Structures are given as structure tokens and as C-alpha cells.
């Protein structure tokens, strides 16, 4: 074996390998640094809101801002929970968000299963028409929705919120779930058909258990949208007993001066259910986001 052949068999020189290793290390360090900066930028406003919720009004606008409140107080939380029927508004939001999410998932999963598993005339056109709901801004629908709600007697009721929250979330949820259902092998459906399972049995006992990642993703998106929605609730709700949490938080902002500590304390309380829902379903969240890209 010649010297050239021996060098080629030995691989690249040690200096080149060391340079490549350093380049990979620098690239990894740069990515980590960028992620840390991004995380700090995203988390800092939340930390400031949390800090301000424990401050009295006199210390809210101090310069420079204090991230560690001194002195700290829980008076803002006490006032938020005990004034303006905040507890009732919180319960109303829970009722509306939970019922809307459950109905939306049930209806959209059945629609998605139908689009993914059955062949019928106009299927693709119907699905594309449904997806138009994703490109129409919600604010453009306020007036048509109000006219429809008034016609059906849904003004100033939690039912009026639930019906339109469900309708507004069907397009996105159906889109997410259809992709997941389409990725389930057809052989599983055929095997159940051989055993005499009808369409509902295949949907309920096969598709739904396998669709946990996509259902978890749809649950998080739908619950968050229903929980935070403000414009439609402000439009149709007139009776104080039917108000939801976003309206309650808006009421804490006065006409001349806003008690930011009180507003942020109410906002922190409002965030808790969203965090709980995300923690419950987060193990399936990433898988559910990418499932629709496999087939559909």
C-alpha cells in the first residue's frame, strides 16, 4: 500500500477533524444563545406582570422597574376575587369554554372522520369551503353574527357565546383532525369492517383513541380561544350575571386611572386554567401539530 493510499484510508487529518468539531460546537452554542435570548424576551413581560400583581398602586410605575416587589402584598388578589362578582364571571368562563371545547371537538372530529374516510361527490369542494372560515377575520363577522343571534333569541346569554364559539372553531379543528385521521392505515378500518363494525364504531373505538395527539392540540387551541374571547362577549352580553372573565378584567380599568396591580392580579388568575389545560395535554401537543403534515 502506497503512502497516499494509507493516508486516504486513515481518514481526514486530525486538524481537520478538530476544526469540524469546533465548528459544530460553535453552531450549537450559537443556537443555544439565540434560544436563551428568545426565551428571555418572551418570559420577561409575564414575569413583570406577575411582579406587578404583588405591588401596591404606589409602586407600580416606579423607575427603574422593580421585578422583585418590595414591599410585596396580596391585596390585589384579595380585591380581584371579592369585587364585581369576579368569581361568578370566572365560573361563567369555565362553563362557556368547557362546553364549547367539548362540542367543537365532537362535531369537528365527526366531520374530519367523514372527510378522511368516506368518498362522496363534492367532498373536496365542501372541505375547501369549510376552510374559508380560516381566512375570514372574526371581526368581520360580528354584525352578521349579531343579526343571526338576535333572530334565534341568543342575545345576552351564555348559549349565544357557546354556539358561535363552536361554529368559529370548527374549521381549524376539522383541518387538524382530518390530516390525522387520513394518516391512520385503511387496513385497520377494513379489519373492523370484517368484524361487522359500522361507521360509528370505527370512529369511536378506532379513530378517536388513535387521535389523542390531534385531539389534545385542538383542545388547547379551542379552549384558549374561547377563554380569551372578548369582542363577541362584549357585543351580546348586557346582563352582569352573564359576563365572562375578559369583560371582568376590562372593568377593572378605570376611566381616569388604571389600577395595574389589580388588573395584573386578575390576569394571573385568568391564566391559571389555560396553564392547567396546557400541562394536561402538552405531552401530545407537538405530535398533534405535525400529524396533519403526514397525509391529508
Domain at 278, CATH number? 1.10.3720.10
Residue 233 lies in a domain: yes
- Considering the domain boundaries, does residue 106 fall inside one? yes
On whether the pTM is more than 0.85, the answer is no
100 and 141 inside one domain: yes
Torsion-angle region of 49 (φ positive above 0: left; ψ -120 to 50: alpha; else: beta): alpha
Instruction: Identify whether residues 37 and 82 lie together within a single domain.
Output: no
The vertex-185 CA angle with 182 and 218, nearest 5°, equals 40
- Regarding whether 161 and 109 lie in a shared domain, the answer is yes
| Same-domain check for residues 107 and 30 | no
Q: Which residues pair with 258 in a beta bridge?
A: 253
Q: Specify the pLDDT at position 296.
A: 42
Same domain, 47 and 81: no
Q: Quick one: cell of 46? A: 409575564
Per the structure, the count of domains in the chain is 2
Residue 63 domain flag = no
Same domain? For 136 and 25 the reply is: no
**Could you tell me if 28 and 171 lie in one domain?**
no
Query: Is 27 contained in some domain?
Result: yes
Q: Indicate if 140 and 45 belong to the same structural domain.
A: no
Residue 295's alpha-carbon distances to 180, 214, 270, in angstroms, are 7, 13, 37
Task: Residue 188: give the domain boundaries.
Answer: 75-291
Q: For residue 80, is it within any domain? A: yes
253, β-bridge pairs: 258
pLDDT tens, position by position, for the chain (296 residues)? 555 555 455 555 666 777 777 778 888 888 999 999 999 999 888 888 888 888 887 777 777 777 788 788 888 898 888 877 888 999 999 999 999 999 999 999 999 999 998 888 988 999 999 888 888 888 888 999 999 999 999 999 999 999 999 999 999 999 989 988 988 888 888 888 888 889 899 999 999 988 888 899 899 999 999 999 999 999 999 998 999 999 988 887 764 467 888 888 988 999 999 989 988 887 776 665 555 444 44
CA 166 from chain centre, in angstroms, equals: 14
Hey, is 253 helix, strand or coil? Answer: strand
Amino acid at each position: 500500500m502506497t503512502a497516499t493510499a494509507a493516508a486516504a484510508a486513515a481518514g481526514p487529518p486530525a486538524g481537520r477533524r478538530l476544526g469540524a468539531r469546533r465548528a459544530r460546537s460553535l453552531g450549537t452554542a450559537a443556537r443555544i444563545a439565540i434560544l436563551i435570548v428568545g426565551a428571555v424576551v418572551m418570559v420577561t413581560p409575564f414575569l413583570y406582570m406577575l411582579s406587578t400583581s404583588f405591588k401596591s398602586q404606589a409602586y407600580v410605575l416606579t423607575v427603574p422597574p422593580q421585578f422583585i416587589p418590595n414591599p410585596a402584598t396580596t391585596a390585589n388578589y384579595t380585591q380581584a376575587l371579592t369585587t364585581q362578582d369576579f368569581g361568578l364571571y370566572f365560573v361563567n368562563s369555565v362553563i362557556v369554554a368547557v362546553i364549547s371545547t367539548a362540542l367543537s371537538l365532537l362535531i369537528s372530529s365527526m366531520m374530519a372522520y367523514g372527510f378522511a374516510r368516506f368518498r362522496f361527490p363534492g367532498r373536496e369542494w365542501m372541505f375547501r369551503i369549510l376552510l374559508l372560515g380560516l381566512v375570514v377575520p372574526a371581526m368581520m363577522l360580528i354584525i352578521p353574527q349579531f343579526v343571526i343571534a338576535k333572530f334565534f333569541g341568543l342575545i345576552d346569554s351564555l348559549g349565544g357565546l357557546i354556539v358561535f364559539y363552536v361554529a368559529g372553531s370548527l374549521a381549524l379543528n376539522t383541518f387538524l383532525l382530518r390530516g390525522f385521521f387520513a394518516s391512520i392505515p385503511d387496513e385497520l378500518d377494513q379489519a373492523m369492517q370484517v368484524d361487522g363494525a359500522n361507521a360509528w364504531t370505527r370512529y369511536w373505538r378506532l379513530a378517536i383513541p388513535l387521535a389523542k395527539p390531534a385531539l389534545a392540540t385542538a383542545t388547547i387551541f379551542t379552549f384558549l380561544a374561547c377563554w380569551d374571547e372578548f369582542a363577541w362577549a362584549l357585543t351580546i352580553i348586557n346582563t352582569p350575571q352573564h359576563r365572562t372573565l375578559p369583560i371582568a378584567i376590562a372593568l377593572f380599568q378605570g376611566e381616569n386611572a388604571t389600577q395595574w396591580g389589580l388588573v395584573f392580579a386578575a390576569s394571573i388568575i385568568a391564566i391559571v386554567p389555560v396553564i392547567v389545560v396546557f400541562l394536561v395535554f402538552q405531552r401530545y401537543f407537538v405530535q398533534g401539530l405535525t400529524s396533519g403534515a403526514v397525509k391529508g
